[in-house]
């Protein structure tokens, strides 16, 4: 009987700290690995930086296209821009133009830019 009471008392002394340690481990794990933990936060910051970079690229492309479109508007028509577009779309050249053949790699790069 005395042995049972001693075991019960020792168990009570051990159970409290074990529960506390288990609670700390549980919350610590989820603070780091959970859906809203540190690793998820770092990944989210990386995604935000990557998206901001892509936004800057798209904004620059948009501004370049808007500038080219503004040159084609009737109020501010740029003859050089119209001639460039006509030549590109019709595949024509002027008799005064000098044609320099490009290597295959350069042709692929020019085609990718258009």
Q: Label each residue of 64-113 as H, E or C.
A: HHHHHHHHCCHHHCCHHHHHHHHHHHHCCCCCCCCCCCCCHHHHHHHHHH
CB atoms within 10 A of CB 40: 13
In residues, how long is the chain? Answer: 114
Question: Would you call 81 exposed, middle or buried from its count of C-beta atoms within 10 A (0-12, 13-18, 19+)?
Answer: middle
Structure confidence at residue 56 (pLDDT): 97
Domain ranges of the chain: 35-92
Contact 81, 72 (CB under 8 A): yes
Q: pLDDT truncated to tens, each residue of the chain (114 aa)?
A: 677 788 888 888 888 889 999 999 999 999 999 888 999 999 999 999 999 999 999 999 999 999 888 877 777 777 787 788 788 888 777 778 777 777 877 777 767 666
């Amino acid at each position: 009987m005395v042995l049972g009471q001693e075991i019960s008392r020792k168990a009570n002394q051990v159970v409290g700290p074990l529960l506390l340690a288990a609670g700390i481990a549980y919350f610590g794990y989820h603070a780091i690995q959970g859906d809203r933990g540190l690793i998820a936060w770092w990944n989210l910051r990386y995604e935000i930086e990557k998206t901001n970079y892509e936004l800057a690229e798209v904004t620059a492309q948009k501004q370049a296209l808007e500038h080219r479109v503004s040159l084609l508007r009737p109020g501010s028509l740029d003859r050089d821009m119209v001639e460039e577009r006509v030549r590109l779309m019709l595949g024509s050249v002027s008799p005064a133009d000098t044609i320099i053949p490009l290597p295959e790699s350069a042709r692929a790069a020019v085609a990718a830019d258009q």
